[in-house]
Chains A and B, each alone.
Chain A
């Protein structure tokens, strides 16, 4: 296990917790805090934060998205590293803010500076802290679902797998097409619920086929969607954010 040496300057991380985790899955945030603190990182939480604006951006309400994005930029202005338990919200800041402000040079510059310091949790551990093994243990058969934004906007694919495989006692197996969308798509899931659910059905099949008892991901959006159907169908597979897994001892 890795601990930052005493002599090193302490790495400071600001949590960008996302509104979904804040309101619905606070245990994911707590798990992140545990893992980061155990690795010797100094953790902070800018309390003014709310939403990064992604729901508005994705539904075409760009003016509203801009206001929330600017607010986000001002709150996280001075932080060293910004780490989030979501590939999707990280993509919003790192990829889509550029899109949103492409005709606004001044804000674009701020976005540029901030986006290079913003990371999804698993890539932060592996690529910045250079840790694969955080000293976690877990008894169970797990599989991993690639959230679309983590995979295709941030190219996060090996990082979570490295972390998962390093957990003691774990039995990891890939499901069929882990990279296929689960059908969530934010507001898509309520705009076209039947299409969304039929895509989800295929994902659920792959999960069951894998024989796993736990389904992991970097994003609570996907897991809320997958878990919602698992519960409804009484399928005994647990959904778990990767931070929860890694905080387990």
Chain B
């Protein structure tokens, strides 16, 4: 993780030129926006639900230590094991340790952003343990050896054709074009993996402190199998996933599912409290919950950006974001994309590693309006921008600093301002074509490459004002 340095500028340029990607994104996103809108509109008290969810998150995050301890005690009570990981390395070591103790040869995984964050698959593979993603989207991504480009729909950047070709290449299947056929192939392949696996690794959507229950929301049934078929189940969660009471759960299921997929309820919701009990027919013999910090307590300690931790990873902000729609998920360089990626990645990895992400937004605010827990993402982006500018390691370039100071100095003094207007009016003349500026020198060329710029007026408003202020109209 130390060597990562993300570049939104470079990666987004590549994405914008990829016509296939543009088509895939356009289609999927337009479709989804409509579906979600319907799911939210039909729910009468949506706003009230958001307010409740937000309050519970605020309360829980403010009292996080207590709830995490409560969660730990109740998981242990139910016969499970709890492990604490301070960072990605520790989390990987803990999980690998469990696997090695039990001589695990093969692992199945259900969808989990936390395991992406710690690159768990690399650790398994490095130790010679086979690991298979069982969520269809993640399975595709694993076959293609890529990174997910959306926290809910990991393969959103791929067209049907891409996937068919991938299956032909990697699984030696004939070329199918129907999604049903592709799903059938994946399903057949995955059945065997489930039956042969010694260990299942899952994420956690919510964990309930008062009961020690972890909750997993999904549509394919693969998480249900991952958590019940193999003899060991390991679940990985970030510290922010805990909610206090069982009765808080309906609120969160409602806002998560409607925001994430536009459904009223997902096909599967698994509630898991400890390992298999004597009376149970199925279930793992051992249950391990790994609770991971990995930079989150640092976010917690900062009041200005703490609300970043309220995120329930529903993906709604990605779908609504005009920037995401154009550049796709890979431009954000890490496991979290879109508006939530732009605020959480610089905080988790370090602001110096992702210093252009807070700027990768037009600040249109559509994300804060859809976010089910009302995270004011533009406000956090602005806060992070200020941090970037003040950061000694990245900061603003010397010339930019000088330019801003000069600009501010001019704006602070009305006569300098007037002079600047006059000067700009004169200086612009060589570039004027038909009353407009069409190809300005750097850095203004960044505007005029594809857009005209209006010419500066001969008589600014403040001069015209003197003429009109006493007129009647």
Contact = CB atoms under 8 A, between A and B. Distances in A.
B389 A59 contact: yes
A59 B473 contact: no
B362 A56 contact: no
A60 B450 contact: no
Interface residues of A, number: 68
B55 interface: no
A192 B9 contact: yes
B451 A197 contact: yes
Contacts of B325: 199
- Is the contact region of chain B dominated by helix, strand, or loop, or is it mixed? helix
A191 B404 CA distance: 15
B399 interface: no
A49 B464 CA distance: 15
Given A23-B421, A197-B451, A231-B436, A148 B459 contact: no
A23 B424 contact: yes
A186 interface: yes
Contact of A199 (B323, B368, B414, B449): B323
A25 B455 CA distance: 9
Nearest to B388: A60
B412 A67 contact: yes
A33 B465 CA distance: 9
B411 A58 contact: no
A131 B279 CA distance: 73
A62 B386 contact: yes
A80 interface: no
A22 interface: yes
B13 interface: yes
A148 B446 contact: no
A195 B327 contact: yes
Nearest to A180: B322
Interface string B424-457: 1000000000001010000110110111111111
Interface of B: 8-9, 12-13, 16, 322-323, 325-327, 358-366, 368-369, 379, 382, 385-390, 396, 404-405, 407-408, 410-412, 414, 417, 421, 424, 436, 438, 443-444, 446-447, 449-457, 459-462, 464-465, 468-469, 471-473
Interface of A: 17, 19, 21-26, 29-30, 33-34, 37-38, 43, 45, 47-51, 53, 55-62, 64, 67-68, 71, 96, 99, 148-149, 152-153, 179-181, 183-186, 188-200, 202, 224-225, 227-229, 231-232
5 contacts: A26-B457, A50-B412, A61-B389, A67-B412, A183-B362
